[in-house]
Structure 1
C-alpha cells in the first residue's frame, strides 16, 4: 500500500547507544541519581536539535521529582486525548450514551406512512451496519411497510464543519482524519466512525482486481483500475480518495493467489453513507421508501418509531484511548459543546471541556487546544499541565475505569495493551505502565502512570518536538523503564541500559516511526 504523506518520517540521524552524556537541565535542581539518568537519556542523539519537555511527579502528593522544560508549550499529538477524555467524563458523565432515532411525519394509513421517515443521529461512533438492520427491523415491527415520502438523514446535532482546524489536506482520505458528523456508520468494532474499509482481492492474471467496501454503500463511487499480476510478484496497490470528493480510486497491481490488500479510508460524506446503509436495511426488512434521500433537521412534531442507545462513555473510553481514535475525541468534543452550550461545534466543545479542566489542575488559558484529538499542529500544551491533570484525575470517581482504558505496556491483548502492547515487553514497566502515546512526523509523546520499584506511584509526561530521527520511542521507553526501576531514597544510578538500534538500521517502511494507530497495526 502507499506510504501516506504524514507517515513519511524525516531522514534518520545516526545515534549511538541509549545513554549519552548530557548537561543537567536548566530547570531541574534535582541532582539525584534519577535526575542524572533522565538528563542522560534526554541527551540522546535522536533528539539533537529538538525540544523536549519532561516532568515526573509523585502521583499522590503532586510533588515534582524531575522537571525539564516542564512549562514549555509543545505539540502534544495524541497525548492531547488525555485532556479530552478526562474533561468529557466530567461534562458528559461515565454513563452518557448517544442516541439514534427513527421518526415519521405525516399520517399512517395501515402500513403506509404518508410522509417522510427521519433518521437522526447525535454522534454515536459505535453504529455498525447490523445496528441499522436492527433499527430497520424495529420500523417494520411498528407496522410501517411503505414510506411514500423521503428517507431524511438528520445530522444537525453537530455543525457542518467536518474537518478540524489545521488538519493536513493530504491526510483527508484516510480513516484517522475522517469527517466529523453526528450521523455515521463504522466498518468495524474499533468504531472508526465515518470510515470505509476497502478490500482489494486478486482475480485472474491480467484481469481486474476485485474491490469490496465495508460497509457496503452506494454513496461512494469506486473507480477500479487495479489489475491482477503474476503470482509471486510484489503487491503495488494504491487506494486513494481525491481531495473533496466521494470517489475512491484503486490502482496498481496485486499478485494472483496473494493476500487481499486492505485500506481504511475516510468517507467523503459520512452522513450519506449512513443513510444509504439504513435505506438498504429498510429494504432488507421489507420496508419500501418511495422517495429519495434528503438531508435536513427532524421536525418537532415527528413521531418516534424506533431508537438505539450506544454503549456508555465509560466503555467507549477503551477503544478511544487504547487505539487512539481521533474521531472519538472530536465527537466527544462536539457532544460536550452541544450539552453545555447547545452547539455541536469545536469552539463550544472546547469551551465546555476547558471549563472542566480548571477543576482538574489545568489552566486552559496557559495552553492552546483547537481540537480534541491532537491531529492539529496548532495544539500547544506542556508536560507540566499533563502531569497536573494526571495527578488530579486520581481523585475523580471515574478514575479507575479511565486508568484501565489507557494503553498498558507489554500486554499483548489488543484491547488491553493498545498502542503500547508491543513496547517494554518483559521489563519492569510491562503490565505496570498505563500511558497515552502520541506521534506525528517530528512529534512524539508518552504520558501516564507507572509504579516504581519501591511501590511509589508516579505520573510523568514526556513530549518531544522538532526532531529529525524517524522515531524516538526508544528514548520514551528508556525513560519509562527508569521510572519503573526508581527506588526512592535508596535509588542509585542505573548505568546498565540496553543500547538501542541505530536509526540507520530502521525498517525501510518508515511508517513504523509513528504509533501503530496510524496504520491500523495495533
Structure 2
C-alpha cells in the first residue's frame, strides 16, 4: 500500500496512530445503531478502530472507501484506509479546480462583459453591428444587461442599423462536459457552458431560468406559468391542470431535448403551493443576446438587424459599455458553498484561455494538472475530466485530496479559499452552504469546514477540523458503490470523532443519521433543501 507524501515532500508515516480512544465505542454505537456495541466491545478501543467500525457499517456493504486523516501542521499521517484507491469524488473535484483558479487566475480576477461597435455614428443612429462580448462571467443577471443597455442609451444611440452580435468566442463551442448524463440535460446543475450567459438570481445558476407555476382560480383552469427572467428565448408548453382544493400537487417542469420548449405537466390544486423549478436553456449565448436585446428596447434602443451568435468582435471595435464581475475571491463563496457546477466549468475554461489562449476543457484541465504537480500533488495518480465533478469519469484517491488540502495552507490566498468552504451547522446559506444542516449539536458544529460531494453511489467529504486539544486536522473521505440512500451520517461520524479527539484521548459523541436520498448535492435541489 503506497504512502502519501506530505506537502514538504516527506513520506507520511502510515503506522503511527497517536490517539487512544477508550470511549469511542459510545460514538460508534450512537452512529451505527444498537448492533455496533457488541463488535466494538471485542477489543476495539482506539480512534483508528472506531473509524474502521464506521466504515464497516451495513450501509457500506459491497462498497469501497478511501479515507485519510493527517495533522494539518506537520503533515503526519494519522489514519489511512485505501489511501491510493481511486474513486469518484463527485464535487470534491472542485477542491482542485478552485485552488488552481485562485493560483492561476488570482484572487482579484474579474470577468468582463463589453458592448462594442465598429460602426459610425450619425446623430443617434449607429451604422454597423453592435457587439456583446463575454468572457465567461457566471454572475451576470438580467439587471446587469439592463445596466449595459442603459449605458448604450446614455451614449446617445437610439437606433442600431446593423445586427446584434453575441461574441462568446473566448470559450470553445463544446457546451456539455465529458460523459455528463443525458437525462440531466434539463436539470439546472447541468447547464450548458458559454462565455456569455445569464443567471436568474443571486445563486448565480448561469444558463438557467426559473419557472414558477401557480394554480388557476378554479378546477379545470390552466395554471399560471411565468419565467424569470422574462424572456422569449424559451417557449412554454403548459399541459398541466388545476384540480380541486386538496388534490395532488404533482407538477413536472422539464425542457425538451434540443429545444427551448419547457413543458409543464401534471396537476396543482386550487389554493395550493404550485411549483418553482429551475431549468436549463438550450444555447445560453442566444439567451444572453435575447435578454440584452430586450433591455436595449426598454431603454429606447432599437436594433434593426437580426441577432448573430458566435462571431468574434473586431480588434478595432470601440467600447460603448462595460461590466466587471465580482473578484474571484468573492465568487468562490457561491461557487463552493452551494457547489455550483457551472462556476467550476467556466473557471476551468478561463484557466485554459489564460494559460494557452484556448478556452477549452482540455486546456483548462492541463492548467489544473500543472498547478497540482507544482504543489506536490501527483496528478498521475488521479483523473480529472471536468471542473465540477459532475462526470463519473473523475477518479481521485483520498490521499491526493489530503495532499492538496495540506499544500494549499501555504498559499497566500489560502484564507479566502478556506473562507469559501462550507461550515458544519452554520445556518446561513452563504456560510454553512451544503453542510449547514449537518453535524449540529456536535463538536464539529461551526468547527468542521469541508467540500461535500454527491452522485448516485458516490459521496465525499474532505476538509479541515480542529480537535479538542486545538490541533487542526485534515481529512479526505470518499465513499463509492454503496446502495444505501445515504452514507452522509458515516462521513459525519468520522469528522465528529476527529473533532472530539485529542492527541491522548477521544470522547464520545452522538450523530444523527439521515434518511434523505443524497444522490445529488442538497444545494442542487431547488428550492435549496440543505
TM-score normalised according to structure 2 size = 0.90
After TM superposition, the structure 1 = structure 2 runs for residues 416-455 of structure 1, keeping only pairs within 5 Å, are 416-455=431-470
| 8 Å CA contact retained: 1:18, 1:499 | no
Q: Does residue 1:233 correspond to 2:239, yes or no?
A: no
Q: Does residue 1:394 correspond to 2:409, yes or no?
A: yes
| 8 Å CA contact retained: 1:86, 1:393 | yes
Tell me the distance in 2 between the aligned counterparts of 1:157 and 1:20. Answer: 59
* 1:75 alignment partner in structure 2: 88
| 8 Å CA contact retained: 2:424, 2:438 | yes
After TM superposition, the structure 1 = structure 2 runs for residues 351-390 of structure 1, keeping only pairs within 5 Å, are 351-390=366-405
Tell me the distance in 2 between the aligned counterparts of 1:365 and 1:97. Answer: 31
Q: Does residue 1:456 correspond to 2:471, yes or no?
A: yes
Deviation for aligned residue 1:515? 2.8
* 1:134 alignment partner in structure 2: 147
Deviation for aligned residue 1:34? 1.4
Q: Which runs of 4+ in 1 moved over 4 A?
A: 15-23
C-alpha distance after superposition, 1:80-136 (max 9, x if no partner):
100000011111000000000000122110110001100010000110000001000
* 1:10 alignment partner in structure 2: none
Tell me the distance in 2 between the aligned counterparts of 1:499 and 1:187. Answer: 37
For 1:70, what is the secondary structure of its paired residue?
Answer: coil
* 2:54 alignment partner in structure 1: 41
* 2:26 alignment partner in structure 1: none
C-alpha distance after superposition, 1:311-364 (max 9, x if no partner):
000000000000000000000000000000100000000001111111233111
Q: Does residue 1:344 correspond to 2:350, yes or no?
A: no
Q: Does residue 1:267 correspond to 2:297, yes or no?
A: no
| 8 Å CA contact retained: 2:442, 2:511 | no
Closer/same/farther in 2, CA of residues 21 and 310 from structure 1, 3 Å limit: farther
Deviation for aligned residue 1:21? 7.3
Q: 1:203 aligns with which of 216, 234, 254?
A: 216
| 8 Å CA contact retained: 2:211, 2:279 | yes
* 1:249 alignment partner in structure 2: 263
* 2:523 alignment partner in structure 1: 517
Over the aligned positions, Cα root-mean-square deviation in angstroms equals 1.6
Tell me the distance in 1 between the aligned counterparts of 2:234 and 2:521. Answer: 29
Closer/same/farther in 2, CA of residues 373 and 193 from structure 1, 3 Å limit: same
TM-score normalised according to structure 1 size = 0.92
Where in structure 2 are there 5+ consecutive unaligned residues? 1-31
For 2:459, what is the secondary structure of its paired residue?
Answer: strand
Q: Does residue 1:57 correspond to 2:70, yes or no?
A: yes
* 1:325 alignment partner in structure 2: 340
Between stretches 322-331 and 257-266, larger displacement belongs to 257-266
Tell me the distance in 1 between the aligned counterparts of 2:39 and 2:330. Answer: 44
C-alpha distance after superposition, 1:35-57 (max 9, x if no partner):
11111111111011101010000
| 8 Å CA contact retained: 1:81, 1:373 | yes
Closer/same/farther in 2, CA of residues 17 and 170 from structure 1, 3 Å limit: farther
Closer/same/farther in 2, CA of residues 145 and 69 from structure 1, 3 Å limit: same
Tell me the distance in 1 between the aligned counterparts of 2:194 and 2:45. Answer: 51
Tell me the distance in 1 between the aligned counterparts of 2:39 and 2:419. Answer: 35
* 1:158 alignment partner in structure 2: 171
Deviation for aligned residue 1:33? 1.5
Aligned length: 492
Tell me the distance in 1 between the aligned counterparts of 2:483 and 2:424. Answer: 25
Where in structure 1 are there 5+ consecutive unaligned residues? 1-14, 24-30
Tell me the distance in 1 between the aligned counterparts of 2:116 and 2:478. Answer: 48
Tell me the distance in 2 between the aligned counterparts of 1:18 and 1:457. Answer: 32
